[in-house]
Structure 1
């Protein structure tokens, strides 16, 4: 071995060690996972997806919308790997129909319904504004497409107010659109997901009444691994399903007013 080679050996060894150390923290097969997400879970899922990419190297590509619409898209071949629904019935149905992996389904969050106005003082703490009816429009999500819309209808029926309020209803195709109607003033108030108006342990703005749980069926939101992910052996999809159960993800879910 020449003297020149001997002089360079320590440098080469250091470079090899540095490269090995740097790559040790990079996942060997980082990939993408296509995720269909119920509109009410938009804000928490964006945060979870960012944490997931930082912690695993895998990228979650998110699409937001109504659970009913996602069901139709999935059954017609949409290339989603994971589905985070706004209910527990739709993922169970996908399992029965063979479009989702049996045994993969679990409840990632239990949602809360809230009557909300973007304006302070419009909605009182007991929801009496519904009985007074002193407003022109009230927004809800389409009950056949969005579980939060179904919960809103159930609440109005329990209160004996649905018939009186029906002429004032403005229907959004998702809870995201219902929220938009209220936030832009196209409806004075509306039934939305608590997660859309909740931050730091309190309502962010406007006025609100959190609907008591006994006025509607529990809004259990289930996640399920879809058959397309299983067929292509997507490790990213499997890791996302596991990540949703971690303490870090559950803390995010709880911070938006859900029960994880």
Structure 2
């Protein structure tokens, strides 16, 4: 029995070491970034041993949840103003805020040939429903309303708006045919340099405010090595390649 003690002690130490090294990180992810973070998560877990547990939704809704004590440790927002607000409220780890992606808005239809590459279909006004995310909680929805305002189409189209709670729901309205077209995140329809299905107009950035997407480590993640590891990973070349493949700028 005595001869086994050193072995058992070493085994226990190894288990404790592995447990301490491989942590989980709870991440609130803006809905537009769902596909990229799912791709990044696989490599992150393989390369670091840490596990990423993600929840997806609208940035404004996540802000409310975080303020109400939600257990998120890292927040990948769809804007830069919400993380900045959390920083001002001392709700994040100081110095952790950075821009992980710059988003692109697209007008998309699930029907091939329905949307032209200039977005003239909007002016034609022949459609019955125009999908967009809630502009009060989703930055891509706000950008969509700015585009319509810039094109002087707000009043002409307002009765046709179908608002999703977030950009994922706005996309679903179009993909299921409940809306003929809608404003979505380019990342939802784009991969490896091309639109994957249907037809789309990539909206010029000059028609809306920049969609700078910032990330922060929240106070709940300040002592979690996996939280810092994820933020560091998002700044690295492997994550950058994935982010660009989905149509974002870095």
Whether these two folds match at TM > 0.5 is yes
Contact 1:86 1:146 in 2 (8 A): yes
Task: Please say if 1:63 is aligned against 2:55.
Answer: yes
Contact 1:27 1:57 in 2 (8 A): no
Number of residue pairs matched by the alignment: 238
Report the counterpart of residue 195 of structure 2 in structure 1. 203
Q: Deviations over 1:40-82 (max 9, x none)?
A: 0000000111111000000000000000000000000000000
Cα distance in 2 between the residues matched to 1:190 and 1:128: 13
Report the counterpart of residue 228 of structure 2 in structure 1. 238
Report the counterpart of residue 14 of structure 1 in structure 2. none
CA deviation after TM superposition for structure 1 residue 38, in Å: 0.2
Report the counterpart of residue 83 of structure 1 in structure 2. 75
Report the counterpart of residue 117 of structure 2 in structure 1. 125
CA deviation after TM superposition for structure 1 residue 39, in Å: 0.2
Q: Report the TM-score, using the length of structure 2 for normalisation.
A: 0.92
Task: Please say if 1:46 is aligned against 2:31.
Answer: no
Unaligned runs of 5+ in 2: 1-10
SS in 2 for 1:181: helix
SS in 1 for 2:82: helix
SS in 1 for 2:62: helix
Cα distance in 2 between the residues matched to 1:255 and 1:39: 17
Cα RMSD of the aligned pairs, angstroms, is 1.7
Cα distance in 2 between the residues matched to 1:216 and 1:39: 19
Cα distance in 1 between the residues matched to 2:198 and 2:21: 46
Cα distance in 1 between the residues matched to 2:19 and 2:220: 22
Task: Please say if 1:153 is aligned against 2:145.
Answer: yes
Mapping for residues 187-202 of structure 1, pairs under 5 Å:
187-202=179-194
Report the counterpart of residue 254 of structure 1 in structure 2. 244
Cα distance in 1 between the residues matched to 2:24 and 2:113: 45
Unaligned runs of 5+ in 1: 1-18
Q: Which has the larger radius of gyration?
A: 1
Q: Report the TM-score, using the length of structure 1 for normalisation.
A: 0.89
The ranges of structure 1 where at least 4 consecutive aligned residues each deviate by more than 3 angstroms after the TM superposition are none
SS in 2 for 1:240: helix
